[in-house]
Amino acid sequence: MDKILILDFGGQYKQLIARRVRECNVYCEIHPYTLEIEKIKEMNPKGIILTGGPASVYDGKSPTCPPDLFNLGIPVLGICYGSQLMAYRCGASAVSETKDMDSGTGYACNPEAVRTAPVSEYGRTEVVIDAPDSLLFRDVETRDGTDENGVNTVCWMSHTDYIARIPDGFRITAHTANCPVAAMENPAKKLYAVQFHPEVEHTPEGRKMLRGFVMDVCGCSGDWQMSSFAERTIKELREKIGDSHVLLGLSGGVDSTVAAALLSKAIGDQLHCVFVDHGLMRKNEGDEVEKIFGSRGSFDLQFVRVNARERFFRRLIGQTDPEIKRTIIGEEFPRVFGDEARKLKGKVRYLAQGTIYPDVVESGDGKTGDVIKSHHNVGGLPIEVVRELGFDETPIEPLRMLFKDEVRRVGLELGIPRELVYRQPFPGPGLAVRIIGEITPYKAEIVREADYIFREELHKAGVDENLGQYFAALSNMHSVGVMGDHRTYGLAVVLRAVITSDFMTAEAAEIPWAVLQITMNRIINEVEGVNRVLYDITSKPPGTIELE
């Protein structure tokens, strides 16, 4: 099976790069930049992609790689920081053999290859492709036609350092007004570099560029398919689990639903599912989960619903920092889950999770990337609880290597109803990340009702199917209003709807004005304590989809 190896230098878009590679029906894996050369040779990838990252090659503690990486005969594509690192490392022929100024490794480099940009580039940027014959760019469609300087296209830039001088054997293949080397390549050695981010939606032709690298440069066949994943995974689960019992924390979301379905198909009622109702679910969602997975549902498994609302709200009193709130929920969930697990001590051997690949990539290490948000659903129960209960210390994660859309495709294969497979994404901490400031039962009820109204009106108008995600959130802002000739001082609800294909980048959706007006009127009249409704038009980046 063809494989592309992605080396992570702390880039926030690393999983998006992997997603784009898989869109080519080519399998790929993300590994830390510290992966040893011998291990890379053993993996025998068809190509290597170096991600972006927040570091500078001039920082003595910045992540780096040995120049041997570029002499393996394996195609390499450097993106943003990865491109600068390639220029820095491949500049050896331009200087004498000296000690590396960054890491003291003894590798030669070119300290003049990368400089700080006179003008930082961030956002959509006009890029002139100087070599339309490049395997990266030959399928790129022009934006405004071709001028005397080359082919124009738009790419997403996010950098302060830039490549000032290309290494020997390379040619410049693209530039911008402020960046003399927006792309470079050495076709003889199959080394390619781009200063921009081809993986994000804001680079419209980026998919074609990455496909050019994966298919044309690396020569991948594109024969990795999802059609047999469910059958293969069910067989593997049966072989691994045997007669043992498995415990799964079930939220009712897509990931845990598909994980439960796979395990149910494999081991039936040897699967024990625990649904922890923390009081921060959407309206009626707890009852819906029980209807689907409980004794009257269609899944062959053992289901328990735990009412832990008081427990969660008590711990959240006075907390306003979003990371602290996430941490509290991330701590309390395994405690509640652990209490239920203790009731099954001696019966259950394995712990299962609905972990998917973005969870693994974002939370698997904290060494290379800046923290954006913590994740509650990687790691499962604390190791001391796992050992106390005699569980196997390696959890069963049947979806660990899949992206969200791949999980959905597996769900449909398993016969899960489409409305469940494509239900709106909902964060593990629930409404906690949709309430700015302190969380109380009163505020949770406000956002729950407002969210229900918004979702209902979008569905009535028939615009919900085209949206990636939509919800209501509660701001921490009070404002003056007038209702029934009386002054009010109420809370402001924020409506959010975005269009996205990958959830790594997103644009605010243009909801019809009439729909927003109807929603606003209903929320103000039906939800006590609210006198103002706002619509969030922030894209991602610079914002995130959730408010916290």
- Which comes out higher in pLDDT, residue 360 or 328? 328
Angle at Cα 201 formed by Cα 199 and Cα 204, nearest 5°? 95
3-state secondary structure of 470: strand
Helix residue ranges, H only, 426-498 = 441-461
Q: How confident is the model at residue 397 (pLDDT cuts 50, 70, 90)?
A: very high
Where is average pLDDT lowest: 38-47, 389-398, 418-427?
Answer: 418-427
Average pLDDT, the chain: 85
3-state secondary structure of 124: strand
Say if residue 541 is preceded by a cis peptide, omega within 30 of 0: yes
Residue 123 has pLDDT above 90, yes or no: no
Max mean pLDDT range (143-152, 242-251, 330-339, 368-377): 242-251
How do residues 9-21 score in pLDDT, each as one tens digit?
988 888 889 989 9
3-state secondary structure of 74: coil
Q: What pLDDT does 144 receive?
A: 57
Q: What is the DSSP letter of 216?
A: I
The whole-number average pLDDT for the span 353-365 is 73
Of 317, 440, 338, nearest to 389 by C-alpha is 338
- Which comes out higher in pLDDT, residue 145 or 541? 541
Q: Which uninterrupted H or E stretch holds 33?
A: none
Q: Looking at domain 229-421, does it have CATH number 3.40.50.620?
A: yes
Of 145, 138, 150, nearest to 177 by C-alpha is 150
208 near 132, Cβ under 8 Å?
A: no
The whole-number average pLDDT for the span 149-161 is 75
**Residue 245 annotated among the catalytic residues of the structure:** no
Token pair listed for 199? 């993986």
Residue 96 has pLDDT above 50, yes or no: no
How do residues 229-276 score in pLDDT, each as one tens digit?
888 899 999 999 999 999 998 887 889 989 999 999 999 999 999 999
Q: What pLDDT does 91 receive?
A: 78
Q: What pLDDT does 93 receive?
A: 29
- Which comes out higher in pLDDT, residue 307 or 251? 307
Token pair listed for 127? 């890029």
297 near 264, Cβ under 8 Å?
A: no
Using a pLDDT cut of 70, give the percent of the chain over it: 89
Domain with residues 436-536, CATH architecture: 2-Layer Sandwich (3.30)
Q: What pLDDT does 151 receive?
A: 63
Of 409, 531, 421, nearest to 478 by C-alpha is 531
The whole-number average pLDDT for the span 521-541 is 95
Q: What residue has token string 């901490």?
A: 429
Residue 112 has pLDDT above 60, yes or no: no
**Residue 197 annotated among the catalytic residues of the structure:** yes
Domain range summary for the chain, segments of one domain joined by +? 3-217, 229-421, 436-536
The whole-number average pLDDT for the span 446-454 is 97
Q: Residue 24 burial by CB count (10 A; 0-12/13-18/19+): exposed, middle or buried?
A: buried
| 294 CB-side CA count, 13 A | 10
Q: What pLDDT does 105 receive?
A: 32
Q: What pLDDT does 501 receive?
A: 76
Marked catalytic residue, from 28, 80, 90, 109: 80
Q: What pLDDT does 541 receive?
A: 87
Q: Which residue spans within 346-468 are E strands per DSSP?
A: 348-352
Q: What pLDDT does 375 receive?
A: 40
Q: What is the DSSP letter of 212?
A: I
Calpha distance 456→235 (Å, rounded): 41
Q: What pLDDT does 405 receive?
A: 85
Q: What pLDDT does 364 receive?
A: 54
72 near 7, Cβ under 8 Å?
A: no
Q: How confident is the model at residue 119 (pLDDT cuts 50, 70, 90)?
A: low
28 near 5, Cβ under 8 Å?
A: yes
Q: Which residue spans within 166-252 are E strands per DSSP?
A: 171-175, 183-186, 191-194, 245-249
How do residues 188-222 score in pLDDT, each as one tens digit?
999 999 999 999 888 889 999 999 999 999 999 99
Calpha distance 281→285 (Å, rounded): 6
Backbone angle region of 403, left / alpha / beta, with phi > 0 → left and psi within -120 to 50 → alpha: beta
Token pair listed for 324? 């602290």
Using a pLDDT cut of 90, give the percent of the chain over it: 51
Of 59, 186, 57, 68, nearest to 131 by C-alpha is 186
Backbone angle region of 318, left / alpha / beta, with phi > 0 → left and psi within -120 to 50 → alpha: left
446 near 527, Cβ under 8 Å?
A: yes
Name the maximum alpha-carbon separation found in the chain: 82
Of 356, 333, 374, nearest to 255 by C-alpha is 356
The whole-number average pLDDT for the span 33-57 is 92
Say if residue 542 is preceded by a cis peptide, omega within 30 of 0: yes
Considering only the top CATH level, what class is 3-217? alpha beta
Q: How confident is the model at residue 97 (pLDDT cuts 50, 70, 90)?
A: very low
Calpha distance 146→492 (Å, rounded): 49
Token pair listed for 544? 């995130």
How do residues 453-506 score in pLDDT, each as one tens digit?
999 999 999 999 889 999 999 999 999 988 887 888 999 999 999 998 777 788
214 near 47, Cβ under 8 Å?
A: yes
Marked catalytic residue, from 121, 199, 406, 449: 199
User: At how many degrees (to 10) do helices 322-342 and 309-316 cross?
Assistant: 150
Q: What pLDDT does 176 receive?
A: 87
How many other C-beta atoms are found inside a 10 Å radius of the C-beta of residue 222?
13
Calpha distance 185→52 (Å, rounded): 17
The whole-number average pLDDT for the span 139-144 is 76
Marked catalytic residue, from 175, 197, 202, 375: 197
Token pair listed for 309? 């609302």
**Residue 80 annotated among the catalytic residues of the structure:** yes
Q: What pLDDT does 101 receive?
A: 34
Residue 381 has pLDDT above 90, yes or no: no
Token pair listed for 4? 């592309």
CA dist list (Å): 188 to 23, 79, 134, 170, 401: 27, 19, 12, 9, 33
The whole-number average pLDDT for the span 160-187 is 88
Residue 3 has pLDDT above 80, yes or no: yes
Q: Is 229-421 the same fold as 3-217?
A: yes
Calpha distance 293→304 (Å, rounded): 9
Q: What pLDDT does 136 receive?
A: 94
φ, ψ of residue 266 to 5 degrees: the values are -80, -45
Residue 163 has pLDDT above 90, yes or no: no
Q: Which residue spans within 338-485 are E strands per DSSP?
A: 348-352, 469-483
Q: Which uninterrupted H or E stretch holds 404?
A: helix 404-413
Dihedral angle at the C-alpha atoms of 192, 196, 198, 200, nearest 10 degrees?
Answer: 150
Calpha distance 428→426 (Å, rounded): 7
Residues forming beta bridges with residue 264, ordered by sequence position: none
Where is average pLDDT lowest: 112-121, 322-331, 429-438?
Answer: 112-121
| One-letter amino acid of 130 | D
Q: How confident is the model at residue 540 (pLDDT cuts 50, 70, 90)?
A: very high
Of 176, 181, 180, nearest to 193 by C-alpha is 181
Token pair listed for 269? 């009622």
Calpha distance 459→419 (Å, rounded): 13
Max mean pLDDT range (67-71, 286-290, 312-316, 359-363): 312-316
Residue 366 has pLDDT above 60, yes or no: no
